[in-house]
Amino acid sequence: MMYQRAKSINNRNLLSPNYYYYYYNTNYNEKALFHTHTQQPQNQKPKSNLRNRKHIPFITEIKHVQTSEQALSLFHHYKELGFKHYYPSYAALLYKLARSRNFEAVEKILTHMKETNVQCNETLFIALFQHYGPVKAIELFHTMPQFNCVRTLQSFNSLLNLLIDHCMFCEANDAFDRSYEMGFRPNTVTFNIMIKCWLVKGEWGKACEVFDEMLQKKVQPSVVTYNSLIGFLSRKGDLDKAMMLVDDMRRKGKRANGVTYALLMEGLCSVGKYEEAKKLMFDMAYRGCKPQLVNFSVLMNDLGKRGKIDEAMVLFREMRKRRLKPDVVTYNVFVNYLCKEGKTAEAYKMLVEMQIGGCEPNAATYRMMLDGLCRNGDFEGGLNVWNAMMASRHCPRPDTFNCLVVGLLKSGNIDGGCFVLEEMVKRKVDFELESWEAVIKYACSEDDNGGSRLRIILASQSI
């Protein structure tokens, strides 16, 4: 049975209310979910990898090409020069083609590798799973032996997780049931994935059954296992049962980590018990776990939701006193809520501060900042952020593109509006009918170079 063979979670007495709760966020657990260790057999030389190989110029060059066509051209160019491509070169090319979604070229290269008996590494197929999607990934998984590639539990787990991420729960459960038949013995990661499967579906009872099976097969639950269950319960508001699991962890010698406490804290915040969540964070150290960025972020996010930015900033300073360096998630909390309150100047300062501190903004950072500036009517500032965003290879949402173009035109910055519009056309971003009408209006009313430029863009789009 769950926790102990004779006891079930649903029949246990509730624990003391001195414990607190939180809610599950898969982003915190994803890396741990796939973190596995393999032991090298004795008297066997380690397998060669790219680090052990001599420098390969083709691999260095292909990292810098932008398109799949350029990658293929480079590949054939090296071949014409007499360079013999081995697996590392093929793998580098396939990664580039898959990222560019040139699957036709991927298929041709794979067929060539199979015909010429190029031995493939399992990691190549795992990477292709992610780009292809679940249906093609299943096909690739079954054809792996044809490429002189031994399938291990790592590729099976990757496929299983991909199926669940695409809500193919029946297929995932069927694969799990046939794992032994296929020659795989499920490990902790496998069971964690299946527990995640049932929790995503909202079926707590099924998740408990998987947990019980895990114990029966003598597979040790990890902290990730417990965090998944604790997070689900906390999100549902069943904080007492969540704390029962924390207690069970402690009895079984598993130490709760920062994510565990963050899950409990978010659960408390979700039911309006911010002060208890805050107390739990400052009590963590007495339970053998120092507060981490994720714990501070939970509290700051809750304060931001309630418009208490000043209090969140006090926590931010406290965090830095503890020598915890803010990450992009921390900064995004402030950028998000400051923009929502119309305090875009303060949000922009946070954006600059994070860059000075060596923290790279992500797509969400730029999108929140740009949306905030557009809502405030600061289209010149928006254009500056847009330029930085595009230079970092991130892209705004279509509605933000629309708003920025029209806003720049209305504010008299015709060149800026044209520049953004040209990028939209180049990237095939949809433009709303009302926005096109505004562009046509300015194209007809402007007689200078800006108006001519707009008319050229409109002509190219047959408007």
Q: What is the Cα–Cα distance from 178 to 138, expressed in whole angstroms?
A: 14
Average pLDDT rounded to a whole number, residues 361-390: 95
pLDDT value at residue 82: 85
Query: Both tokens of residue 375?
Result: 């809502």
Cβ atoms of 457 and 418 closer than 8 Å: yes
The pLDDT value recorded for residue 27 is 36
Task: Tell me which residue of 265, 280, 269 sits closest to 305, measured CA to CA.
Answer: 269
Give yes or no for a contact between 369 and 351, defined as CB atoms under 8 angstroms apart. Answer: yes
How far does Cα 282 stand from its chain's mean position? Answer: 29
Prediction pTM value: 0.75
Query: Which of 187-191, 226-230, 288-292 bottoms out in mean pLDDT, i.e. has the lowest?
Result: 288-292
> 10 Å Cβ neighbour count for 331?
23
Mean pLDDT, the chain, rounded, equals: 83
Return the residue matching tokens 């209305």: 410
- Taking the CB of residue 139, how many other CB atoms lie within 10 A of it? 10
Q: What is the pLDDT of residues 334-371, one digit of tens each?
A: 999 999 999 999 999 999 999 999 999 999 999 999 99
d(CA 219, CA 125) in angstroms, rounded, equals: 27
Could you give the count of Cα atoms lying within 13 Å of 17 in the half-sphere of its Cβ?
3
Which residues face 4 on adjacent strands? Answer: 7
Q: Provide the percentage of residues in the chain whose pLDDT is more than 90.
A: 59
* Euclidean distance between CA atoms 384 and 192, whole angstroms: 44
Residues 114-136 have a mean pLDDT of 91
